[in-house]
Amino acid sequence: MKKIGIINSELSALISQLGHADTIVIADSGLPIPPGVRRIDLALKQGVPGYLETLETILVEMQVERYTIADEMKERNPDMFAKTERTLAGAQMECMTHEQFKLLTRQAKAVIRTGEYSAYSNVILHAGVTF
């Protein structure tokens, strides 16, 4: 049995398979997941697990060089925007419209659906390298 880190087998496998610049999405419960993109559904009930809790857990094992958020997160959910920015300090931030964001999710290796119920609590993580 694994001693530390992510114990969800799908998440653990996903992260171990990422290459440089591959992307994954951490999504609130309302973000549409494009057909053909792998869905890892963690949502149990409203708020469980939360977006930030999921992001923080993934960052224990994933090297992130940049991240993408929707402009609407800054405007309509400034508290979550500030927490996301603090959590991903050191990684380069990119912003785009929510419509552009949804198009970019089509290229993701997976979308991880959380139980988050606050608007625009979504991020695309771009894998970095550790060397």
What's the domain range around 24? 9-127
Write the DSSP string, 68-105. EEEHHHHHH-HHHHHHHHHHTTTSEEEEE-HHHHHHHG
User: Is residue 18 a part of any domain in this protein?
Assistant: yes
120 is in an annotated binding site: yes
Question: How many domains does the chain contain in total?
Answer: 1
Asked if residue 71 belongs to a known ligand binding site, the reply is no
Quick check: is 20 catalytic?
yes
The confidence band for 28, taking pLDDT boundaries of 50, 70 and 90, is very high
Residue 2 resides in a domain: no
Residue in this structure with the two tokens 């979504």, named with its chain if needed: 122
Residues 6+ apart with CB under 8 A from 90: none
The three-point CA angle 6-88-96 to 5° equals: 115
pLDDT at 2 over 90: no
The verdict on residue 1 lying in a domain is no
pLDDT band at 1 (very low <50, low <70, confident <90, very high): confident
122 is in an annotated binding site: yes
Q: Would you say residue 4 lies in a domain?
A: no
Please report, rounded to a whole number, the percentage of residues in the chain having pLDDT higher than 70: 100
Out of 7, 16, 20, 94, pick the active-site residue. 20
Whether 67 maps to a domain, the answer reads yes
Lowest-pLDDT choice from 1-5, 49-53, 71-75, 95-99: 1-5
The one-letter amino acid code at 112 reads I
